[in-house]
């Protein structure tokens, strides 16, 4: 049995919730009143599309394995799968999350477009919707109105399983506040960001067609193009989706708590590596605007290395990193627990 401690404390002993403005001072134009309770279920076609984006990549992976059975798996397909995973995964972690949601660094319009488009290619929803949901998660983390907490589904093993499934992907089908857009008032006023968000279907299509085109051009066959679509498109989506979703599920269930935060966020080394640093999720909830999530030297954070690299070549600036004093003040001391 692993020694990982599952969170048991009721929400009443958690620290008081911090307003988003306290952790993201730049986001002062976001209205932070409690939700008014008006919830709107997405239309049937939206839920159907969400369901398809969960199921079709699985079918794609099965189809790819079946097609390649006995034929082999070439370097080309491996490159498309891993290259696509790295580029679109970083699009979510560096772009959607650290740049757009938390404004943990600044960059120019070209980099803004690049990160916005790469993140959109991960097919996790339009940029503005993704950011709104994630800001809502931070404001209400593991409490009522958190869109994807695994902890609000009652006690017992079945409730835990139900909570984990909800946090992983069940929440896509749940109602969301009618005024969810209020979380992204700052981004909606930027025409570039708004345009990228509105063109979401185009970016998803390109994310599927580009690997198909590359593989088709290299092999000169339609079968080659199809395999490019399967490995660089659908199988890549499968990996990016489940690794990203694991931050919402696994990283609020399993791992360590280095810092005090008003939720059940955990540092999980597996997803620290697989999700390019996002698995240091307790660090992130303690210091949401930090461009660096892996705060100790051994906490590998590929997204931060990319951001630092961009800074070195002049493509990123004003990186936010918590001071040693702030980190020391928030350390989670076992004796301080209730």
Binding site for Zn ion (CB under 5 A): 265
Q: Of the two residues 142 and 216, which places its CB atom closer to Zn ion in the complex?
A: 142
Residue nearest to Zn ion (CB): 265
> Smallest distance, Å, CB 64 to Zn ion?
32
Q: Of the two residues 48 and 256, which places its CB atom closer to Zn ion in the complex?
A: 256
Q: Of the two residues 152 and 199, which places its CB atom closer to Zn ion in the complex?
A: 152
How many Å apart are CA 183 and CA 189, to the nearest integer? 12
Residue 243, Cβ density class (10 Å: 0-12 exposed, 13-18 middle, ≥19 buried): buried
> Smallest distance, Å, CB 286 to Zn ion?
11
How many Å apart are CA 237 and CA 181, to the nearest integer? 26
Residue pair 279/70 in contact (Cβ under 8 Å)? The answer is no
323 phi, psi to nearest 5 deg: -75, 160
> Smallest distance, Å, CB 31 to Zn ion?
19
> Smallest distance, Å, CB 252 to Zn ion?
6
HSE of 89, CA atoms in CB hemisphere, 13 A: 31
Q: Of the two residues 61 and 302, which places its CB atom closer to Zn ion in the complex?
A: 302
Residue 1: beta bridge partners? none
177 in the Ramachandran plot: left (φ > 0), alpha (ψ -120 to 50) or beta? beta
How many Å apart are CA 200 and CA 178, to the nearest integer? 21
> Smallest distance, Å, CB 255 to Zn ion?
11
HSE of 84, CA atoms in CB hemisphere, 13 A: 34
Q: Of the two residues 107 and 265, which places its CB atom closer to Zn ion in the complex?
A: 265
Q: Of the two residues 244 and 265, which places its CB atom closer to Zn ion in the complex?
A: 265
> Smallest distance, Å, CB 142 to Zn ion?
8
């Amino acid at each position: 049995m692993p020694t990982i401690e599952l969170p048991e404390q009721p929400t009443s002993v958690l620290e008081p919730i911090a307003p988003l403005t306290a952790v993201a001072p730049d986001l002062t134009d976001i209205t932070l009143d409690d939700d008014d309770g008006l919830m709107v279920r997405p239309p049937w076609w939206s839920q159907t599309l969400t369901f398809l984006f969960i199921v079709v990549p699985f079918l794609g992976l099965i189809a790819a394995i079946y097609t390649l059975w006995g034929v082999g798996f070439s370097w080309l397909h491996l490159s498309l799968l891993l290259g696509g995973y790295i580029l679109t995964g970083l699009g979510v972690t560096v772009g959607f999350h650290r740049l757009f949601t938390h404004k943990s660094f600044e960059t120019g319009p070209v980099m803004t477009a690049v990160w916005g488009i790469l993140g959109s290619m991960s097919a996790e929803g339009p940029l503005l919707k993704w950011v709104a949901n994630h800001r809502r998660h931070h404001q209400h983390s593991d409490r009522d109105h958190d869109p994807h907490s695994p902890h609000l589904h009652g006690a017992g093993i079945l409730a835990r399983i139900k909570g984990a499934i909800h946090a992983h992907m069940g929440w896509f089908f749940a109602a969301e506040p009618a005024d969810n857009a209020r979380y992204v008032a700052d981004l909606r006023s930027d025409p570039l960001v708004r345009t990228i968000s509105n063109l979401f279907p185009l970016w998803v299509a390109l994310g599927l067609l580009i690997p198909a085109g590359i593989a088709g051009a290299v092999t000169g066959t339609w079968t080659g193009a199809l395999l490019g679509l399967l490995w660089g498109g659908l199988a890549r989506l499968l990996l990016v989706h489940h690794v990203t979703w694991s931050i919402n599920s696994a990283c609020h269930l399993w791992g360590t708590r280095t810092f005090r935060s008003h939720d059940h966020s955990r540092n999980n080394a597996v997803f620290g590596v697989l999700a390019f640093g996002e698995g240091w999720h307790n660090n992130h909830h303690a210091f949401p605007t930090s461009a660096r999530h892996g705060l100790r030297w051994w906490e590998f954070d590929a997204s931060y290395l990319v951001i630092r690299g961009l800074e070195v070549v002049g493509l990123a600036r004003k990186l936010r990193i918590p001071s040693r004093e702030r980190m020391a003040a928030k350390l989670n001391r076992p004796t301080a627990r209730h």
